[in-house]
Chain A
Amino acid sequence: MSEQKKSSNPKTESQKPRIGVYICRCGGNISDVVNTDALAGKVKQLGDVAACRVETFMCSDPGQATIVEDIQKQNLNRVVVASCSPFLHELTFRTVVQRGGLNPFLYEHVNIREQDSWAHKHDPVGATSKALRMINAAVGKLHHAEPLERIRMGNHRQTLVVGGGIAGLKTAAELAGKGVPVILVEQSSSLGGRVALLARTFPREDEGSVLAKKLIAQVTDHPLVRIFTRARIERVSGFIGNFDVKIAFEPKPDASASSDPQGAGHSANAAEVYASVGTIIVATGADPYKPARGEYGFGEQPAVVSLADFLRQLATLPNGNFIWNGKRVRNVGFLHCVGSRQVEGVNPPQADGKINDYCSRYCCTAILQQALTLKMRFPDVNVFDFYQDIRTYGGHEDYYTKSSAAGVVFLRYHAEEPPVVEPGENGSALKVRVKDYLTFGEEVEVPLDLLVLGVGLVAHDIPELIDLLKLPVGADRFLQEVHPKLRPVETAVNGVLLAGTAQAPMNIEETLSAAGAAAVKAAIPLSRDAVELDPFVAEVNAEKCNGCERCLTECAYTGALFKETVQVDGESAVKARVNPGLCFGCGACVAVCPTRAIDLKGWTLDQFDAMIDGLVEAVPVEG
């Protein structure tokens, strides 16, 4: 982002408002419902509207150029764009207005898509009338708008990474390599996370612990990285550029901790660590789904194991006959979608009452990798694969092709009719009953000596961190990004980023890419000395303040509002004052002030009055 321009045209801005209103068709998303031409006709008649245009895509370059040109040629000093949600493009148009030479806060964004055309698809006349009212409110608000400057605050140019799995390690390695200091906090006593425990990984058949060790080597002993294991975030306050963090430690159980293969030597014994960081990366990972007792025989039948357990044991088995727990195994089954793609009313709900209706992404490939390995090492073993859809996407398809060629038998079940696992007969440990849709829905019984459950991934349980960082959580319990394409690793909390499987199921390669993406978004704000914050904070008019302190009681943000004693006409008086860096602009103080002495910049009480007037006074347009 380029340096903040000073409001370059104060003269124009202080003159009588000349407002430009730009209505976006959004390629039909808006204009299929709202009669944009009729709307523009009415808008032109509103007070102080000097220009009004309709464009197919206001956000496109030609659309933006129109605004810039009008500002310059028609001396506009205020701009309204009526288009999609401000969440998507408010910033886009503030930048456009700034490029035209105006203060970027002499801009109002009206959402006539999500709040109008999409909401009132079947009422074009009403939607058009509503759009006019909304624009009229914005025009009214702009009458009272003043140029604002973003708040510049100091910037602590280092990052906190929470989680020492491969996502956290990768972000730390990249940031340190770029010259950004990193504090890495890991809850357990060792680094490397789940990947360090994997005997084999796809698609390159690397050993997980080898991959993890290589990453660990990049960050340990790096002068810009400090690692704390057995550590947790106890307190966080502040905002981007200025997060104050307190790290606390689990007591060490005993001296044996130092024999830990990976964590040793870097777990400080410190009682407490305090740091100020500019950005925070959450890389807390995911856990394998733990089946409930009795779910597909898990926990009841010894011959039912999870994929991770199978993987670990298979790696240690000698060649020859396939011997599992002392017994020769001839028939092995793999079951897909355990804990994933669950269906309401078929799969029992999880502890929180919800089902896991998402796909866990990594498991199809992981299962077929193991099925293939098994077939290659023990060709006599019969392998049965119970699946819904084989999701070996991209080059992983190779595992599917090779498994089929190696003789793995596939049986396709429907989510509504999951396989039933029962004790076996005639020497088999188990019997799986399933309706196989590859043989036209025939009910099949498959005797098995071993059943491997292809368990999915579930979000790692981090309620304290979610609470501390105010992290948004999706319906699937994974952490939620702002927008999957516009801001895929950013959270609603500015400066707090997501890396890896804390956000969604991913495989190793995807996790590393996501970690790189998070690292770059953490590095960008730290590449300069200051951060800039939106100017929408409270401001006290000292003349009107009577020192009643009601606002101080109401303020929820420590340090944002304080009282000071000032001299007024030779007498000392108590007045409220705002620390703009700490104010979140929530408006609670404004609401309780009996003398209208407090206003939110950009959202003043006069502006609210004008907006309400604007909403009620507009004349409906013909549809």
Chain B
Amino acid sequence: MSSGNGAAMRETENHFDVVVVGGGIAGLQSALDLADQDYRVLVVEKQPSIGGRMISLSKVFPTLDCASCITTPKMSAAAHHSNITLMTYTTVDAIEPAGDNHRLTLTQMARYVDTSACIGCRQCEYVCPVEYPDPFEQGMGALRAISVPFANAIPQYAVLNPEYCIGCGACVRACASDAIRLDQQPKTLTVEAGAVVLATGFHLNSTSLKPQYNASRSKDIVSPLQVERLLAPHGPYGRVLRPSDGKIPDSVAFVLCAGSRDQSIGVPYCSRVCCMYSIKQAMLLSGALPTADITIYYMDIRAFGKGFEQFYQNAKAMGISFVKGKVARITPQPNGDLMARVEAIEEDGRVMENRHDLVVLAQGIVPELVSPERLGAAKEEDGFIRRPDPLRPAWTGREGIFVAGTAAGPKDIVDSIMEAGSAAMEASHYLTQKRATADANAPSLELEVIGAASE
């Protein structure tokens, strides 16, 4: 099995038309839209696989397509594109002006595996004796100290986690292609780019930000990304179980705005996607757990995108219970149950105590990139990358540096993909202007005007 790089990076190759920082769905779409116009693109991803957050999702709203079915072809198209070079497990430490271009300082982290030799056969993983909580499964499943990160990872190279490796050498012995390199060191390198697209994505803020929800006291007060994995076809348990003790849940609650719309936790804005993914997860859960009660506690249902309102109405018709109310407190009981204290605004304002097996906190979306200044951009008060020109929504205000997707603010996949296309367009526009050399082959306007043409 060969994996990956349509254009393997040659040692001498250090100039690209565009470097895309981040190999999630926005970065990949930007890269593809640029490469399809024959620009040479480098995609730098800090995780060992491209695919970003989207590849870990179960299904996506409002079409309920499986997320893999949409993401893998884009990942694969990027990996096999002759104009795209992928560098995974690599961080971008700095972006600085270099004459007319940008100079990027990159650190390729040690995988402890020679990627030119690894064939992704996973023999090393099969013999590795240590397992640790799998980050791809949000800690719920297990991963071995050396392993291919997940089933449809691209590239399919093993990566060793030194924090859990005991140095037993079993993988070295098992590797038929002698690809394990325990003496590998991180490597710093620089590349130059004509333009940069920042697609650095998001993460969720902590479930512990609101102490009244007691997330630290129960494994069953979970993050929405955990629910995505519980619902995914090859999730950690192979089915939906509550993480504390493996019970098949019969009552699941969603608490919306659990990490957004609250100045006191530093996230005054709305995270835009929580209403919709909660509705989606509720629908999928009601399919996986036909007898379970599913409740969504909300303030406003923000189903604003194309097809979203109809999706919401379908969920109501399916019997998912929508309760407009403030969840004041979640209290774990000694028997593992979770009691939610809710002020039901819509009814008589009375305070209810509802029992649930599993409570999902809709956390806030915050930028993954903490210091955009290092990468040549500035940030807004909310921490997301600043875009000063209302007419150029993909431009950071810095010469030749563009932004796509959730790096510029919370948004859904459709909007991220749109912005990624827009960033690719602005970057290609910029590169054309910068080159400013008369292309002999450039088309000129051709049309035929019949009649009195006065212009």
Q: What residues make up the interface of A, taking CB atoms closer than 8 Å to B?
A: 1-2, 26-29, 56-57, 59-66, 68-69, 84, 88-89, 92, 95, 99, 156-158, 170, 174, 177-183, 201, 204, 206, 211, 214-215, 223-226, 265-266, 268-276, 341, 357-359, 361, 364, 389-398, 401, 437-438, 440-441, 478, 483-486, 488-489, 503-505, 508-510, 512-521, 523-524, 526-528
Contact = CB atoms under 8 A, between A and B. Distances in A.
A10 B212 CA distance: 70
Interface stretch (B73-81, B101-109, B177-185, B331-339): B73-81
The dominant DSSP class at the B interface is loop
Closest 3 CB pairs of A and B: A516-B422, A271-B451, A27-B233
Interface in B193-252: 232-234
Interface stretch (B40-48, B163-171, B407-415): B407-415
A89 B418 contact: no
B11 interface: no
Interface stretch (B12-20, B131-139, B301-309, B367-375): B301-309
A420 to B, nearest CB: 20
A27 B66 contact: yes
Interface string B426-453: 1011001100000100111111111111
B117 interface: no
Nearest to A438: B345
Given A59-B76, A60-B76, A61-B156, A520 B445 contact: no
Interface residues of B, number: 101
A358 B37 CA distance: 36
Interface in B300-338: 300-310, 313, 324
Contact of A484 (B153, B300, B306, B419): B306
B176 interface: no
Interface of B: 1-4, 33, 36-38, 60, 62-63, 65-66, 68-70, 72-73, 75-77, 79-82, 120, 151-156, 232-234, 261, 263, 268-272, 300-310, 313, 324, 345-349, 382, 390-394, 409-411, 413-415, 417-426, 428-429, 432-433, 439, 442-455
A178 B452 CA distance: 31
Contacts, number: 285
A62 B33 contact: no
Contacts of B393: 509, 512-513, 516
A514 B447 contact: no
A177 B432 contact: yes
Nearest to B413: A485
Contacts of A27: 66, 68, 232-234
B65 to A, nearest CB: 7
A128 to B, nearest CB: 19
B409 A158 contact: no
A527 B73 CA distance: 23
B421 A517 contact: yes
A177 B443 contact: no
B443 A181 contact: yes
A270 B1 contact: no
A180 B441 CA distance: 12
Given A28-B233, A223-B445, A393-B302, A62 B3 contact: yes
B285 to A, nearest CB: 15
A528 B442 CA distance: 10
B432 A273 contact: no
A57 B72 contact: yes
A64 B76 contact: yes
B455 A513 contact: no
Contact of A268 (B268, B306, B432, B454): B454
Contacts of B449: 268, 270, 272-273
Given A268-B454, A516-B418, 10 more contacts: A26-B66, A59-B73, A61-B155, A62-B3, A95-B80, A158-B443, A158-B445, A504-B306, A510-B418, A517-B422
